[in-house]
Amino acid sequence: GQQVMQIPQYQHVQEGEDFTTYCNSSTTLSNIQWYKQRPGGHPVFLIQLVKSGEVKKQKRLTFQFGEAKKNSSLHITATQTTDVGTYFCQDSNDYKLSFGAGTTVTVRA
């Protein structure tokens, strides 16, 4: 079945810096959801991307869906300690839900 690959697996960021995590697939993605899971917590929905080339922003977070719908990215600017956690992308349609392995983010103050 289709696999959703997330890179990098780990991201160590200096507070105040920017970083990007990527979600890639060899086949066309259906709809992308991004979730954040804090340490010891449960996944929390962040955003959904549906259209090719779509870009959505939430404060310091920018989400993008590739033109060919084979990749998605999450870019965080001016990283804060509250950004610590694991970010997952999920590809889903009516009958299939696939999570990427996640990018675990740690922040150096």
Partner 1 sequence: DSGVTQTPKHLITATGQRVTLRCSPRSGDLSVYWYQQSLDQGLQFLIQYYNGEERAKGNILERFSAQQFPDLHSELNLSSLELGDSALYFCASSVGGRGYNEQFFGPGTRLTVL
The binding site for partner 1 (CB under 8 A) comprises 30-31, 33, 42-45, 48, 50, 88, 92-102
User: For partner 1, which is the closer residue by CB, 54 or 77?
Assistant: 54
What does each C-alpha distance from 18 to 24, 68, 82, 93, 97 come to in angstroms? Answer: 20, 25, 14, 31, 29
- Residue 60 CB, shortest distance to partner 1, in Å, is 21
CB neighbours (10 Å) of residue 58? Answer: 12
Q: Would you report the helix, strand and coil content of the chain in percent, each value rounded to 5? A: 5, 55, 40
- Residue 78 CB, shortest distance to partner 1, in Å, is 26
CB neighbours (10 Å) of residue 13? Answer: 17
User: For partner 1, which is the closer residue by CB, 66 or 100?
Assistant: 100
User: For partner 1, which is the closer residue by CB, 16 or 41?
Assistant: 41
- Residue 45 CB, shortest distance to partner 1, in Å, is 5
